[in-house]
Amino acid sequence: MGAKLLCFCLASALVAYYIYTPIPENIEEGWKVMLITSLFRTVGHVAEVADRLGLMHYMEVMRLITIAEHVAPTSDENVTVTDTEFSNVAVRLYLPRKPASGLRRAVIYFHGGGWCVGQAGMKSYDLLSRWTSSQLDAVVVSVNYRLAPKYHFPVQFEDVYSVTKFFLQSSVLSQYGVDPNRVCVAGDSAGGNLAAAVVQKLLEDSEVTTRIRAHVLLYPALQTLDLNLPSYQQNENGLILPKSLMVRFWSEYFTTDSSLREAMTSNRHVPAESGHLFQFVNWSNLLPEEMKKDYVYTSPVFGSSKLAKKYPGFLDPRAAPLLAEDARLHGLPPTYVLTCEYDVLRDDGVMYVSRLRAAGVRVTHDHAKDAFHGALMFVSSPTSLPVGNRLRNRYIAWLNENL
């Protein structure tokens, strides 16, 4: 009996140690956030083991979350939902069912998932798109771009750009009853990265005559140069998205070659000849004082030029929109940027806000001090969180006022 009790106590202690994650005091329902974080961590550990044993690629295991969360395109009393293709790229289309009183608004949405996982058909994204369509009486196009590791940059960008350009044609907008002056491009995380890159590119595309009315970036990933920003240091082992996973997403976006991931992990992947690009991500100039905290800026340590020559994508503004020169930012539409305090990507969004404002762009910066990466997606049982519903409502309210 004593031995069994001892084994039980030891097993319980090990489980508790594995599940436990320090949760900031200002995060609501911390116990639930802890369980969600432990679930993601467990899948990550299983993925690591499977990858090392050669059973499955790391991202293929992570994609099991996507598969488990998938829901079929199901219409309801408010919205007609269908899976179709625009320009040979899969999309999920949401059309309001009530009769239109005039031309409708439209939102083109790019899901997150580190360019490796996620899809428009995940329950969380389906609910967000359905809610957006219903609340705004808007057409929503949620794009299923191709994913790494099977497809690397620039395929993801090309897919979402192709869909956006197709949808912005006058004939297509007319077909769906969309006002050409009320179209928004939006995305979260890696999708926010793609949204920023698409809107920058549209300004230079003479073939596109429809101007984007609004632009939404939800906790976006925007730069590859400095992966040791204060937010990366503060949240290195943080909630949902630790630094190691974000670095892996970045490297997988460009290649399965582990040498790039290793260089990114040590923050020594940028060659000296590209050193001039650091001016665009110098957090000592671009972050407000309260977000610099007690961190000290240090000059970059350069790496070998071999990686940059082999995988030039990580220095391309289409993959890292923060690397765009100031002249490319002029003329961007009104922009909503959501950042979360407990997120490795926090400073990416904050620095972009600073640069957009300096370029004369009208920006609404919504910084959630009580939120973490991906929080807006937790709006349904059993993982519903109060902060998720608040952030969703703020996002929809901004769209309602600015689109």
Q: Catalogue all structural domains in the chain, each as residue range(s) with its CATH number.
A: 66-223+313-402 (3.40.50.1820)
Q: Which residue has the tokens 């939102």?
A: 107
124 catalytic? Reply is no
Average pLDDT over residues 53-75: 93
Using the predicted structure, report yes or no on whether residue 381 has a pLDDT greater than 80.
no
Strand partners, 178: 104
Average pLDDT over residues 162-176: 98
373 catalytic? Reply is yes
189 catalytic? Reply is yes
Confidence of residue 65 (pLDDT cuts 50, 70, 90): confident
Output the pLDDT for position 10: 43
Query: For the CA atoms of 336, 337, 340, 344, what is the dihedral angle to 10 degrees?
Result: 160
Sign of the dihedral defined by the CA atoms of residues 262, 304, 235, 191, in that order = negative
Lowest mean pLDDT among 2-11, 104-113, 273-282, 388-397: 2-11
Of 57, 111, 215, 373, the catalytic one is: 373
Of 126, 226, 343, 348, the catalytic one is: 343
Can you tell me the distance from the alpha carbon of 212 to that of 332, in angstroms, rounded to the nearest whole number? 8
Of 124, 134, 142, 189, the catalytic one is: 189
Strand partners, 363: 335
Contacts (Cβ under 8 Å, ≥6 apart) of 391: 338, 366, 368, 371, 375, 376
Contacts (Cβ under 8 Å, ≥6 apart) of 275: 300, 302
Confidence of residue 17 (pLDDT cuts 50, 70, 90): very low
Contacts (Cβ under 8 Å, ≥6 apart) of 133: 78, 79, 94, 95, 96, 107, 139, 140
Output the pLDDT for position 124: 95
Q: Which region holds residue 229: left if phi is over 0, alpha if psi is between -120 and 50, else beta?
A: beta
Output the pLDDT for position 11: 46
Can you tell me the distance from the alpha carbon of 190 to that of 183, in angstroms, rounded to the nearest whole number? 20
Where are any strands of DSSP class E within 189-314?
Answer: 214-218
Lowest mean pLDDT among 10-24, 209-223, 346-360: 10-24
Using the predicted structure, report yes or no on whether residue 6 has a pLDDT greater than 50.
no
Distance of CA 259 to the CA centre of its chain: 24
Output the pLDDT for position 3: 61
Whole-prediction pTM = 0.95
Confidence of residue 18 (pLDDT cuts 50, 70, 90): low
Can you tell me the distance from the alpha carbon of 65 to that of 185, in angstroms, rounded to the nearest whole number? 26
* Residue 153 DSSP one-character state: T
Report residue 137: phi and psi, to 5°. 50, 50
Q: Which of 39, 223, 195, 30 is nearest to 231 (CA)?
A: 223
Average pLDDT over residues 199-214: 97
Question: What type of residue is 235?
Answer: N
